């Protein structure tokens, strides 16, 4: 089985099935198609499937032309999981959010695997790319595959290879970002490395799926902890009357021993706000309490409240309250220059302000209509960023510093600005750093 699958992969005859056509699955599909490797895309969202098969894109930084070219070359999308038996590789790129108790929600992974297992066949490889806790592949995927009657490592192959997508990053792409890959057995490892080596410049083998799963968590916990430190330093510096962004810029001139991390209104994206809690949850199974990681999480999760408190203080100085104030949120994507709304702290800030009685609107050139989200609901459209509109708001809250914004226009025409990104340099009487 192994040699036959390796031969198909080597000859580019293997058909790849990618499950989950989102920010991870879609770029990966395009990369395989660029190497003339046929891909079938699986998704439960019929609207996405229809758009893909029509050669259209629903992600801003992925051009429709690339999708259309892939379709012309043989790519197609489907919601029929029965077709899983027709492919040689199944790559799972589905969400792994947290539940309301901030515990791992593996329902998307488990439901996906349960939908696929009745249709899988001998001689396939399954790769999970979704971020998760160490042991997921061994404890959740492996038993389900073997219950179907296959022996993993001989007639079926299982690997974990975490996604490393960074939407909107022009310096790195799917091909150039090294790919970590861990297999359940050495044979699985060999298959996984062969599969990804055909489309990724550098594949990094590790000894097991658990090692690969932990690697992904360490990468994002590293960022979460350092951003938590920057956010805590921001609060301390603000109390002392010091601009933390000026401090960071100065510290970053040191050519060794310092890496700049920047504070903000909270953490966003599908990885950094979520991944640390996957490890803290799993660590409890081993009687461990990850105090350092959890403290960083507490600090980062408090930032939307910190920003709202800053808005309240700024309005109070003008003898106004949040209740009844017209507030414009500037940028609602989770980071600059993308349309990605996953876990964006802007949405929590909007909800907090709304609950306090504010009249909240937003402007974002990348998000013309507030999207459907699992946890946040606003029936809003992006308002035009004009001098007249800016003058009509009591306060403008900068939460995402898109390059497309005219910051001079904002500075000149806003009555009050609360800046959570350190974008407005120098001292301005109507700008409050948050």
Q: 120: exposed, middle or buried (C-beta count within 10 Å: 0-12, 13-18, 19+)?
A: buried
CATH 3.30.420.40 corresponds to the domain 227-433 = no
Taking a C-beta distance cutoff of 8 angstroms, is the pair 405, 424 a contact? Answer: no
* Residue 375: pLDDT over 80: no
CATH architecture label of 2-207: 3-Layer(aba) Sandwich (3.40)
In this prediction, residues 88-108 reach a mean pLDDT of 92
| Secondary element (H or E) of residue 157 | strand 157-160
Taking a C-beta distance cutoff of 8 angstroms, is the pair 159, 188 a contact? Answer: yes
Domain coordinates of the chain in residue numbers?
2-207, 227-433
Beta strands 157-160 and 179-183, pairing class: antiparallel
The model's pLDDT over 51-87, given as tens digits with 9 standing for 90+, comes to 999 999 999 999 999 999 999 999 999 999 999 999 9
Taking a C-beta distance cutoff of 8 angstroms, is the pair 67, 56 a contact? Answer: yes
- Tell me what the pLDDT averaged over the chain comes to: 95
Give residue for tokens 């801003």. 60
pTM, full prediction? 0.92
Q: 47: exposed, middle or buried (C-beta count within 10 Å: 0-12, 13-18, 19+)?
A: exposed
pLDDT of amino acid 363: 98
pLDDT of amino acid 32: 98
Least-confidence region, from 150-164, 184-198, 332-346, 365-379 = 365-379
- Name the band, by pLDDT with cuts 50, 70 and 90, for residue 145: very high
In this prediction, residues 191-217 reach a mean pLDDT of 98
CA gap 323, 375 in Å, rounded? 23
Q: How many CA atoms lie within 13 A of 211 on its CB side?
A: 12
Taking a C-beta distance cutoff of 8 angstroms, is the pair 18, 196 a contact? Answer: no
Taking a C-beta distance cutoff of 8 angstroms, is the pair 194, 10 a contact? Answer: yes
- Name the band, by pLDDT with cuts 50, 70 and 90, for residue 224: very high
* Residue 206: pLDDT over 90: yes
Catalytic residues: 271
pLDDT of amino acid 273: 81
CA gap 47, 329 in Å, rounded? 29
Give residue for tokens 């050495």. 186
The model's pLDDT over 280-295, given as tens digits with 9 standing for 90+, comes to 999 999 999 999 999 9
In this prediction, residues 82-99 reach a mean pLDDT of 95
Taking a C-beta distance cutoff of 8 angstroms, is the pair 70, 33 a contact? Answer: yes
- Name the band, by pLDDT with cuts 50, 70 and 90, for residue 317: very high
- Name the band, by pLDDT with cuts 50, 70 and 90, for residue 373: confident
């Amino acid at each position: 089985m192994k040699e036959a699958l390796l031969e198909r992969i080597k000859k580019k005859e293997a058909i790849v099935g990618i499950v989950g056509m989102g920010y991870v699955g879609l770029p990966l599909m395009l990369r395989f198609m660029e190497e003339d490797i046929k891909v079938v895309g699986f998704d439960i969202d019929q609207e996405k499937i229809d758009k893909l098969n029509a050669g259209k894109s629903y992600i801003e930084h992925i051009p429709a032309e690339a999708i259309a070219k892939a379709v012309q070359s043989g790519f197609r999308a489907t919601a029929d999981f029965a077709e899983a038996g027709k492919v040689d590789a199944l790559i799972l790129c589905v969400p792994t959010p947290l539940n309301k108790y901030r515990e791992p929600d593996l329902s998307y992974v488990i439901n996906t695997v349960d939908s696929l297992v009745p249709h899988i066949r001998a001689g396939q490889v399954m790769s999970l790319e979704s971020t998760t806790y160490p042991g997921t592949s061994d404890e959740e995927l492996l038993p389900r595959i073997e219950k179907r009657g296959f022996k993993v490592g001989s007639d079926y192959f299982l690997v974990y290879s975490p996604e490393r997508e960074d939407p909107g990053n022009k310096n790195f792409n799917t091909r150039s970002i090294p790919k970590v890959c861990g297999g359940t057995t050495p044979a699985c490892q060999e298959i996984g490395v062969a599969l990804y080596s055909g489309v990724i410049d550098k594949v990094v083998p590790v000894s097991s799926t658990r090692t690969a799963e932990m690697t992904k968590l360490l990468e994002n916990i590293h960022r979460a902890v350092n951003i938590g430190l920057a956010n805590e330093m921001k609060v301390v510096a603000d109390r002392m009357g010091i601009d933390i962004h000026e401090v960071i810029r100065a510290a970053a001139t040191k050519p060794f021993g310092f890496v700049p991390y920047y504070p903000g209104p909270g953490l966003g994206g599908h990885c950094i706000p979520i991944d640390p809690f996957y490890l803290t949850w799993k660590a409890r199974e081993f009687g461990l309490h990850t105090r350092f990681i959890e403290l960083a999480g507490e600090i980062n999760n408090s930032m939307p409240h910190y920003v709202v408190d800053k808005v309240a203080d700024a309005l109070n100085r003008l003898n106004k309250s949040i209740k009844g104030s017209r507030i414009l949120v500037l940028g609602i994507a989770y980071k600059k220059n993308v349309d990605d709304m996953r876990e964006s702290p802007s949405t929590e800030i909007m909800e907090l302000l709304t609950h306090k009685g504010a009249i909240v609107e937003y402007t974002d050139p990348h998000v013309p209509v507030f999207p459907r989200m699992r946890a946040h609901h606003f029936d809003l459209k992006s308002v035009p960023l004009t001098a007249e509109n800016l003058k009509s708001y009591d306060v403008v809250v900068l939460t995402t510093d898109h390059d497309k914004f005219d910051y001079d226009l904002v500075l000149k025409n806003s009555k009050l600005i609360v800046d959570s990104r350190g974008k407005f340099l120098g001292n301005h009487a109507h700008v409050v750093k948050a």
